[in-house]
């Protein structure tokens, strides 16, 4: 089963210099089904002529990826210090794991080229799946490593505070019933895929946002105002 989240990210990528934060995912993909959901691998396959650099704090698995010939390195997404600039920076399911997601986004803003884009995906706290899992598990959801949850409002507010703006936004489902062995999860996933079309898209489990620098918008607006003033005096 293809990942709607990964496909949405791949469709939004632009340029030849790509930085993928959290490239390990949860672990190294082993089976064919797991590889279909490994974003670093899919980026390399979809953009073979691009320079796709992966970054992750998981040193052990980064070394394993390097042994497979992947262009990856160890680093902290909250402390980006690249001198080079990237056309696209991707944060796939990572900001909900970070103690300081704002520091990560501000680092991305500094590292992206003028006109470049930052693509991020994160779970949607108000989706049907997470609400049902909360009822089932009482006080926790499915991933014990998450330290934050986002909805469209909180995500937009955080992005804007970091000097960015959301250029495009969509809800998708990121389900893996053919990979996750948990029976209740698999039953829900297959049932939801059958009935989700009757629900608004905002009840799907993942948000994908394409962000750009808000400073560029101000520059463009200022330039447009300047042209308007010049034309009005001609």
* Continuous segment of H or E residues that includes residue 164: strand 164-172
Q: How far, in whole angstroms, is CA 200 from its chain's centroid?
A: 22
Q: Give the whole-angstrom CA distance, residue 20 versus residue 83.
A: 16
Considering only CA atoms, give the Rg of the chain.
Answer: 19
Residue 118 has pLDDT above 50, yes or no: yes
pLDDT the model gives residue 60: 94
Banded model confidence at residue 182, pLDDT cuts 50, 70, 90: confident
Banded model confidence at residue 231, pLDDT cuts 50, 70, 90: low
CATH of domain 4-232: 3.40.50.150
Going from the C-alpha of 116 to that of each of 59, 213, 215, the distances in angstroms are 28, 8, 12
Nearest alpha carbon to residue 154 among 114, 217, 88, 105: 105
pLDDT the model gives residue 207: 98
Which residue ranges make up each domain of the chain?
Answer: 4-232
């Amino acid at each position: 089963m293809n990942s709607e989240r990964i496909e949405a990210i791949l469709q939004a990528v632009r340029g030849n210099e790509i930085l993928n934060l959290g490239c390990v995912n949860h672990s190294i993909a082993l089976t064919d089904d797991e590889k279909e959901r490994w974003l670093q691998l899919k980026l390399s396959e979809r953009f073979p002529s691009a320079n796709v650099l992966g970054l992750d704090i998981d040193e052990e698995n980064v070394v394993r990826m390097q042994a497979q010939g992947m262009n990856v390195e160890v680093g902290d997404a909250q402390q980006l210090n690249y001198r080079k600039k990237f056309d696209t920076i991707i944060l796939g399911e990572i900001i909900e794991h970070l103690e300081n997601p704002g520091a990560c986004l501000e680092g991305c803003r500094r590292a992206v080229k003028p006109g470049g884009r930052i693509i991020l995906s994160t779970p949607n706290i108000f989706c049907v799946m997470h609400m049902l899992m909360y009822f089932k598990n009482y006080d926790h959801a499915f991933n014990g490593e998450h330290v934050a949850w986002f909805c469209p409002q909180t995500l937009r507010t955080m992005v804007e505070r970091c000097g960015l703006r959301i250029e495009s936004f969509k809800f998708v489902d990121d389900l893996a019933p053919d990979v996750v062995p948990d029976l209740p999860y698999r039953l829900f996933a297959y049932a939801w895929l059958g009935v989700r079309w009757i629900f608004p898209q905002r009840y799907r489990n993942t948000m994908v946002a394409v962000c750009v620098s808000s400073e560029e918008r101000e520059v463009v607006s200022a330039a447009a105002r300047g042209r308007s003033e010049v034309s009005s005096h001609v």
